[in-house]
Amino acid sequence: MNIGIIANSASMFPLIYQLAANRLQVEVFYSLSHDQNVNQRVMGFLSHVKIPYTEEKNVNVDVYKWLDNHHFDACFILGYGHLLNTDKLGSLLPIIFNIHFGLLPDYRGPSPVFWQLKKGVEHLGVSIHQLSPKFDDGPVIWNKEIQNKDYFNCETANQYLSNVCIEGVFFILNLLANHIPVVGKKMNSQHQAYYHKPILNDIFIQWDKMGAKEICDLVRACNPWNRGAITCLNGHEIKLLDAIISINKPKDEAVAGEIVGDNELLTIRTCDNLNINVNMIFYSDSYVPSYNCRYYGIVKGIIIGK
């Protein structure tokens, strides 16, 4: 089988490896990332594994020409940032599928892993659906849940889901190879939720409103792409890169955002009268371990978030 991949990130690596390992012919249409480091990784990977690829130059034209010029048995979209015009796809539409790192119809939108982690859901998910004129809106063909692990951050969860989606791709390829109709389940429009790309208010810690778990979930959701969740001290930005709820119950009075311990860890009080332990921050353009925070004036008694 001849398989096309449309992508804009390194999330395609595990899928391409597996397709090639099964002796399937693979070609990639790559939409350049704003991050040049990502582009270098992708180009280096595709060259190393000898996978033919085409770089996108013209958003309105190139992908349609690429699809027309290849006789794909199936094509999968993984992280493409533009909405394809289904009217231009014609007879190709039934063999093009979108891979979405969220359980549809929930968590539609460009940053599903972030929002699932931020909201602290029990399970993350992957869905593969048919294309429609709207983003993440076509009938769902395959989906799968995985447990939201404590060690997940936005990148590790994304990498994990990059491997999980392989099962769904081969499920669809097996249907196509055996000439079995690929039929999706139409989403319930009343239960669809679209989440926008995170903005400042979404990644800012509100100490007077957010409890310990909510803060820890936000920290994981913001790591590593934003170098952590944002707070401030005397007008200077601080980002928490790691946070976990302390097993020790508070024995003293403190206000939300107050640093109540500054030894090996920074211990900070939350509005639900719990403590979180932080062992790394990003401050003054540097990664600062908590045991060095005292040299920056970040010590017990200081109230952050103001």
Structural domain contains residue 108: yes
**Interval 105-145: pLDDT, tens:** 889 999 999 999 999 999 999 999 999 888 888 999 999 99
Number of domains in the chain: 2
- The residue out of 191, 223, 243 marking a domain boundary is 191
pLDDT at 139: 94
pLDDT at 193: 82
**CATH code at position 150:** 3.40.50.170
Percent of the chain with pLDDT strictly greater than 70: 99
pLDDT at 110: 92
pTM: 0.94
Q: Are residues 62 and 207 in the same domain?
A: no
Structural domain contains residue 305: no
- The residue out of 156, 171, 191 marking a domain boundary is 191
pLDDT at 191: 66
Structural domain contains residue 184: yes
**Interval 226-276: pLDDT, tens:** 999 999 998 899 999 999 999 988 989 999 999 999 989 999 999 999 999
Structural domain contains residue 303: no
Q: Are residues 228 and 118 in the same domain?
A: no
pLDDT band, residue 182 (cuts 50/70/90): very high
pLDDT band, residue 73 (cuts 50/70/90): very high
Q: Are residues 11 and 110 in the same domain?
A: yes
- The residue out of 191, 219, 241 marking a domain boundary is 191
For range 148-176, the mean pLDDT: 97
pLDDT at 189: 65
Q: Are residues 208 and 108 in the same domain?
A: no
pLDDT at 190: 65
Q: Are residues 175 and 269 in the same domain?
A: no
Structural domain contains residue 11: yes
Q: Are residues 227 and 274 in the same domain?
A: yes
What is the span of the domain harbouring residue 283? 200-296
pLDDT at 249: 87
Average confidence score pLDDT of the chain: 94
Q: Are residues 177 and 94 in the same domain?
A: yes
| Torsion 135-137-142-145 (CA) sign | positive
Q: Residue 42 and residue 32: Cα distance in Å, rounded?
A: 9
Q: Residue 12 and residue 21: Cα distance in Å, rounded?
A: 14
Q: Are residues 19 and 143 in the same domain?
A: yes
Q: Are residues 42 and 86 in the same domain?
A: yes
